[in-house]
Each structure stands twice: as structure tokens, then as C-alpha cells.
Amino acid sequence: MRALAEPSKQPAGRWRDLGVRAASAAVLLPAALACLWVGGGLWVALVLLAGLLMMREWRAMAAGLPYAISLPIGMLWILPAVLGLEWLRAREPGGMGNVLFLLCVVWASDIGAYMVGRLVGGPKLAPSISPGKTRSGAVGGLLAALGVGAAAAALGGGVFATAMLTAAVLGVVSQAGDLLESAVKRHFGVKDSGNLIPGHGGLLDRLDAVLTVAPVAAAIVLWRGEVLWR
């Protein structure tokens, strides 16, 4: 996910990719949410397809590695998220709500980091990994994630402290997932994982945070036996 970008010296340049990003989201989000709402085989098919496409992008990036090595690594990175998303949606009560909560945290963190990072700028978050990301963007992303937690507690009848703590944990994990993919791309010398999604690059670029958040969210639900905001 391409949040926390470095502000341009030209004000308009800060937002030069905003239009294409918004257009891509306007196409993809309704389809994903429809599959989440219906659940069952449709959700399973969507998540499996996404997993296969991400494995394809990973294999293209890691083409220089032996096949067997790239395949454990790729499975360790992608499979836990696929299984976590499938398990969370199938689990009741609160299956759809749990997946929606984690997705909203990821989206809010991404948007908050993007907006604050480009508006405020400032010191770099991890210049050796992703030079465009800023500390201000990281704070903005975390605050946005906390906003999702507060909204879930207020609207979903949850426990405020629990929802906020869960949102904070998932928000931090979301940004860690973003940095992880940035580190992988820097290691292999590529700018984007692919070109499947205009304005975002590949599917790994769009779902990098989900890959780390989904297994953590599933572990929290498994541990507590409850929905994420209670």
C-alpha cells in the first residue's frame, strides 16, 4: 500500500495519483464488499483468487530464487492471510463484522497515512526501507485506525477500551505489513509488485497490510472467542 509518501515541492504534485487511486478503489471496493456480504463460496473464491494472484506477483519478483525456496517463503507470507480471512468470515457470530472491522482498520490506516504524510511531511519513518514514508504519516494512520475502533464500539455495541486497543494493534501491524513489502521490493530492486491495479501497482501493493493484519486478527478472535471490538 502506497501510503506515507513524501510531499512534493509542487503542491499539486502531492496529489497527482489521487484520482487514479480513487477510481481504482471505486471499482474494486464494491465488488469486494459484495463478496464479503454474500460470503460462502463467493468469498472463498475471491480470497483464493487474490491469494493466487499475489503468489504469481511474488514469484515474478523472486524469479532469481530457486523455486522451492520462493514457494516456502511465498506460502509463509500469503497463506496465513488467506486462511485467516476464510476462517474469520465463516466463524459465527460476527464473521462478516470481524472481516469488515479489520479491512476498515487497514483502509483507514492507509488513507490517514497517505493524507497526513503528504500534507505534513517531516522526518522519515524508515528511510533505508521506504524513503517516502514519514513519521507524521505513521501517526496519522494510527489515529485513523483508532477512529475505526471508536466507531465500532459506538455503533456495534462494543467495549470502548477493547475496540481501541484492538484497532491500535491492528493499525501498527498494518503499517508493519506495508514496510515489509517495501523491504521485499527494495531487496529485489522493483518499484511495484505488478501493474494489475492502476494507481496502486500490483495486488501485493494493495493488500500488503492485509497479509499481516488478517492472521493477527484471526489469532485475537481465536484467543478471545469474541468479535474484535468487544
Grid cell at residue 118: 503528504
Residue 133's H or E segment, with its range, is: strand 130-134
Confidence (pTM): 0.87
State how far the Cα of 138 lies from the Cα of 109, in Å rounded to an integer.
Answer: 8
Output DSSP code: residue 197.
B
Question: Which three cell numbers, joined as nine digits, stand for 2?
Answer: 502506497
CB atoms within 10 A of CB 33: 13
Per the listing, cell 506460502 goes with: 75
Instruction: Write the burial class of residue 39 (CB in 10 Å: 0-12 exposed, 13-18 middle, 19+ buried).
Output: middle
Along the 230 residues of the chain, how does pLDDT read in single tens digits? 444 333 334 445 555 666 666 776 777 788 899 999 999 999 999 999 999 999 999 999 999 899 999 998 999 999 999 999 999 999 988 999 999 999 999 999 999 998 998 899 888 998 888 888 899 999 999 999 999 999 999 998 888 999 999 999 999 999 999 999 999 999 999 888 888 776 667 899 889 999 999 999 999 999 987 889 98
